[in-house]
Structure 1
Amino acid sequence: MTFESSGSGTIGSVGQMDPETHKLKFDRDGIGGLIGLHIMNIIFMVLTLFIYRFWALTRVRRAIWPRMSLDGTPLEYTGTGLEIFLGFLKVFLLILLPYGIFSNWVQSRIINPELGLSPLFVALSLVSSLGIFFLYTAARYLAYRYRVNRTQWRGIRGSVGGAAYIYALKWIGYYFLAAITFGIMKPWADVKLLQYKLENTKFGGRSLSFEATTTGLWKPYLLIFAIYLVITVGATILGLNIAMEKAALGSELQPGDEAAMHWGIVSFILIGMVACALAYLNYLVIFWRQAVGKTSFGTIRFSFHPTRRQIIGLFFGNWLIIILTLGLLAPIAWLRKGSFLARHLTINGALDTDNLVQAEFDTDSRGEGLLGDFDIA
């Protein structure tokens, strides 16, 4: 079974060719073999205390990448399990292990038996906590860089520049700003971080372009705040009503009535949480639609046009598949994602592959520098 985007360019009313539409296909055949590979990977990871995970990632990617093809040519993944494993060892020995020792030393000295709470070690503890966010965010960026650098199409590789530590510092700074504005600045932070990532991404030496704008994001995002305020105010009012009822009736209040009141508050909060989750999912749909539409590659333009119902169906369908099968049928979810992308991502414009040059690439078998293979995604 193969899914593909809509067809090629057509002649317009004035005799000019419409922008060329490139065919994106995803092959869902052979699901049995992919499930077998996934189960064997799980068995080997358990037998090797999860050391085999690095090779399992590689085997899965080499099975998934070629299923996606652009204009009839499949993608290719060139990474190796050994690269990722050696990269992990470098990070563990040079960064994670010293960081863990430092963090434990700080935590053990926060409380001084004679002086009580130590301001110095409290400050160091906060710095240590920030270090967790820094390392995780840097690792996510480097995992993205590794995947792109090891992906090629028609022999032309992708590449990602920039610095992981700059991305991590931006992440901390932008979301700190979002936090002190009670989350209001989150759409701006989301856009700025995506801009840094995309504008440092190249294919064949040519960079992606991204128009960083929050236009159209504020309304769906502020809807989340409105729902949250309704939950907070509503739960407060209900709680005050229960307290007033208890004070007025005292011993006359039946246990069943009190339990019903408390369950009313719990139900109200749960419904509100579901509404918040759906509102946030709606924000993500709009965010990624606009992000894709604002991204270009030379004369190439992209569009992403799934409906909210389709995305909710994909999200909850994959969630149910993974939960109900304890992850054993996760490959079905992977293929659903790939076919969804092929159906809804449209690529228009002249690609001009003859003018694409090979991206600079680190051929060192140990990977991309200090953190380059810390692939935890």
Structure 2
Amino acid sequence: MSDASSPWTQAVAPTSVPATAPPQGPAAAPGSAWSPDLTPSQPVYDGRLGELYAIYLRHLAMMLVTLGWSRFWGRTRIRRYVWNHLSVLGDRFEYRGRGIELMIGFLLALLLVAAWSGLMYLVWLYVFHEKPFATFGLFDLFSLSVVLIGFPLAYVGHYAGLRYKLSRTRWRGIRCGMAGSAWGYGAIATFLQFANAMTGYLLTPVVSVNLARPRIVNTRVGTQGFTFAGRAGDIYGRYLGYYFLNIVAWIAAAVATFMAIGGTIETLGFSSDDFLKLFAHPSLHTVVVVLLIAFAAYLVFGLLILPLRCWWQAYLLRYLVTHSRADNVLFATAISTWQMWGFLVLNYLIVLLTLGLGWPWVMHRTMKLIAGQLWIYGAPQGSEIRQPTDRGPGYGEGLLDMFDVSGV
């Protein structure tokens, strides 16, 4: 695509500033001073839930007929529909991924799992030929190894999968992409999460900012990169308030649960000794009582903890968005705690009550939320953006991508 014919060089028509623009606006964005001539806009998602469900139901039907092997093409068709119905600055995204790429990645993943199983068998045969523990078997060794390597590989796979999807995404004919090493991201994420757990999750702001930074700064639209000016120190005060309020909420929820359990037991005519006897000789009745107690505790904890979590998640999202930019393009969002709470709770209920069949509805709501809550200020300078030379990984979202050797 030549510069002369590139739609990047088209001027953006000036429009009036919407009255519903978020209060913090681009003035909160890092970097250069705010220029009042930047035109605000929002993404537009015009997908229809009925059309998305038609694709999804066809996908399920084909899964039954092909015993699951059609899922790679079904996933591709769903992504293509969603991408093609999302537009920024009047231009739609395109998804160029193929089902065969996903299937090849899956088959290579199977081969790697088989190779890992063989390696564990050799370790068991030649290293643990004399069992160190009477109950420790080959399956236990394999399960333990999967637990040890699965945690870091989850982060590696997340980064590699995001890189594949971006490499198959186009906007205005320009390929997107993602630089950086998935292995490096996985190592950093594993270390930070381990350190966070060891400190009682007091390092959560450090983890959040330092894991968001590589995902943001390594993202590319053609040769146009992104920058991120966030710092953990900026959000530590808010997080400490959330952290200690969270502890208070847990204590209050525990007290409320025990009071509710005690009142229920006394109402039913049970004494504390009778209650303890139930657990001394477990029966079906005991199991039912335990399940009811666990469900009641889950409801109480959920009602008290979730609003606090949504408050923190909404704040963190606002911070990450407003501290990101793409050259002269700034971003902002005004998503509130209530909007985050309604989004998370309703999505959970949709998936739970429909036994997973409400997944397209959740995807549809997610795209609507992004389009309704994200503000973009300015437009990219098309004359400075070129098509990238890197075409991305050759296979999709299998363990081959996880190991960062998909180009081989």
TM-score with structure 2 length normalisation? 0.73
1:40 matched to 2:88? The reply is: no
1:96 matched to 2:113? The reply is: yes
The 10-residue stretch of structure 1 (214-223 or 305-314) with the greater mean CA deviation from structure 2: 214-223
In structure 2, the CA distance between the partners of 1:124 and 1:86, relative to structure 1 (3 Å rule), is closer
SS at match of 1:255: coil
Q: Deviations over 1:38-81 (max 9, x none)?
A: 01101212222322111111000111111111122111001111
Which amino acid is 2:15 matched to?
S
Find the aligned partners of 2:398 and 2:294 in 1 and give their Cα distance.
53
Q: Deviations over 1:176-231 (max 9, x none)?
A: 11011011112211210111111111112121101131223543465245433553
Find the aligned partners of 1:131 and 1:331 in 2 and give their Cα distance.
32
In structure 2, the CA distance between the partners of 1:318 and 1:134, relative to structure 1 (3 Å rule), is same
User: Offset of 1:268 from its aligned partner?
Assistant: 6.0
1:321 matched to 2:350? The reply is: yes
1:143 matched to 2:143? The reply is: no
> Which residue number corresponds to residue 15 of structure 2?
8
In structure 2, the CA distance between the partners of 1:65 and 1:360, relative to structure 1 (3 Å rule), is same
> Which residue number corresponds to residue 70 of structure 2?
52
> Which residue number corresponds to residue 153 of structure 1?
171
Find the aligned partners of 2:170 and 2:78 in 1 and give their Cα distance.
16
> Which blocks of at least 5 consecutive residues in structure 2 are unaligned?
1-13, 18-34, 263-267, 277-289, 404-408
Q: 1:228 aligns with which of 218, 237, 247?
A: 247
User: Offset of 1:306 from its aligned partner?
Assistant: 1.6
Which amino acid is 2:109 matched to?
V
SS at match of 2:357: coil
Q: Is the 8 A contact 1:231 1:269 kept in 2?
A: no
Which amino acid is 1:285 matched to?
A
Q: Is the 8 A contact 1:142 1:371 kept in 2?
A: no
Which amino acid is 2:270 matched to?
P
> Which residue number corresponds to residue 328 of structure 2?
299
**Larger RCO: Structure 1 or Structure 2 (Cα < 8 Å, ≥ 6 residues apart)?**
2
1:335 matched to 2:350? The reply is: no
Find the aligned partners of 1:364 and 1:177 in 2 and give their Cα distance.
31
Which amino acid is 1:354 matched to?
S
Find the aligned partners of 1:132 and 1:363 in 2 and give their Cα distance.
24
Which amino acid is 2:201 matched to?
G
1:200 matched to 2:215? The reply is: no
Find the aligned partners of 1:269 and 1:329 in 2 and give their Cα distance.
23
Q: Is the 8 A contact 1:217 1:283 kept in 2?
A: no
User: Offset of 1:281 from its aligned partner?
Assistant: 2.4
> Which residue number corresponds to residue 216 of structure 1?
235
In structure 2, the CA distance between the partners of 1:254 and 1:27, relative to structure 1 (3 Å rule), is closer
Q: Is the 8 A contact 1:220 1:279 kept in 2?
A: no
Q: Deviations over 1:286-340 (max 9, x none)?
A: 1111000110100111011122212222222233333333333432322221121
Which amino acid is 2:387 matched to?
Q
Find the aligned partners of 1:197 and 1:337 in 2 and give their Cα distance.
20
Q: Is the 8 A contact 1:110 1:117 kept in 2?
A: no
User: Offset of 1:151 from its aligned partner?
Assistant: 0.8
Q: Is the 8 A contact 2:167 2:176 kept in 1?
A: yes
Find the aligned partners of 1:188 and 1:111 in 2 and give their Cα distance.
44
1:133 matched to 2:133? The reply is: no
Find the aligned partners of 2:394 and 2:350 in 1 and give their Cα distance.
37
Find the aligned partners of 2:392 and 2:296 in 1 and give their Cα distance.
57
The 10-residue stretch of structure 1 (275-284 or 343-352) with the greater mean CA deviation from structure 2: 275-284
> Which residue number corresponds to residue 270 of structure 2?
255
Q: Is the 8 A contact 1:206 1:356 kept in 2?
A: yes
Which amino acid is 2:148 matched to?
L
SS at match of 2:401: coil
Q: Is the 8 A contact 1:159 1:360 kept in 2?
A: no
Q: Is the 8 A contact 2:105 2:400 kept in 1?
A: yes
Q: Is the 8 A contact 2:177 2:392 kept in 1?
A: no
Q: Is the 8 A contact 1:293 1:303 kept in 2?
A: yes
> Which blocks of at least 5 consecutive residues in structure 1 are unaligned?
1-6, 11-15, 244-252
- How many residues align? The count is 349
SS at match of 2:400: coil
Which amino acid is 1:8 matched to?
T
Q: Deviations over 1:77-121 (max 9, x none)?
A: 01111111112222321x322224445666898795577699xx9
Find the aligned partners of 1:369 and 1:238 in 2 and give their Cα distance.
44
In structure 2, the CA distance between the partners of 1:254 and 1:181, relative to structure 1 (3 Å rule), is same
Find the aligned partners of 2:382 and 2:352 in 1 and give their Cα distance.
43
Q: Percent identity?
A: 25
Find the aligned partners of 2:143 and 2:397 in 1 and give their Cα distance.
31
Q: Deviations over 1:144-163 (max 9, x none)?
A: 01111111111011110111
In structure 2, the CA distance between the partners of 1:183 and 1:199, relative to structure 1 (3 Å rule), is same
1:275 matched to 2:290? The reply is: no
Q: Is the 8 A contact 1:135 1:168 kept in 2?
A: yes
In structure 2, the CA distance between the partners of 1:48 and 1:107, relative to structure 1 (3 Å rule), is farther
The 10-residue stretch of structure 1 (352-361 or 178-187) with the greater mean CA deviation from structure 2: 352-361
Which amino acid is 1:19 matched to?
L
- What RMSD in Å do the two structures reach over aligned CA positions? 3.8
In structure 2, the CA distance between the partners of 1:238 and 1:115, relative to structure 1 (3 Å rule), is closer
> Which residue number corresponds to residue 18 of structure 1?
37
> Which residue number corresponds to residue 13 of structure 1?
none
Q: Is the 8 A contact 1:235 1:265 kept in 2?
A: no
TM-score with structure 1 length normalisation? 0.79
